[in-house]
Amino acid sequence: MVLPWNAIERLRDHFGDYVVLVTCRACRHSREIRPAFLARHCRAGWDEPLANIIARLRCRCGKKLVDVQIGFNRKPRGWVKNPS
């Protein structure tokens, strides 16, 4: 299950049980980043907003043009199938 990055507000959301998928728009390089890795390298740790982290992401080619998605292995707890 893949969602847009703005589905999660902070790294601690959903107990960090997700993966951040980053794909460069220029060279198409992609990488999966665990929230625990990001929490160790941020000033605020698990309380860091995901928007602040995404603003600083760069590809290995040096470009800041990246597409970010959130991937789950299973449906997060508390999410209903049909929210309407």
Q: What is the DSSP string of the chain?
A: -EEEGGG-SBTTGGGG-SEEEEEETTT--EEEE-HHHHHHTSSSGGG-BHHHHHHH---TTS---EEEEEE-SSPPTT--S---
pLDDT at 77 over 70: no
Mean pLDDT of the 40-64 span: 92
- Residue 81, pLDDT above cutoff 80: no
Q: Is the pLDDT of residue 55 over 80?
A: yes
Question: What is the overall mean pLDDT for the chain?
Answer: 86
Tell me the average pLDDT across 8-32.
91
Of all residues in the chain, the percent with pLDDT exceeding 90 is: 57
Q: Is the pLDDT of residue 19 over 70?
A: yes
List the chain domain ranges: 2-71
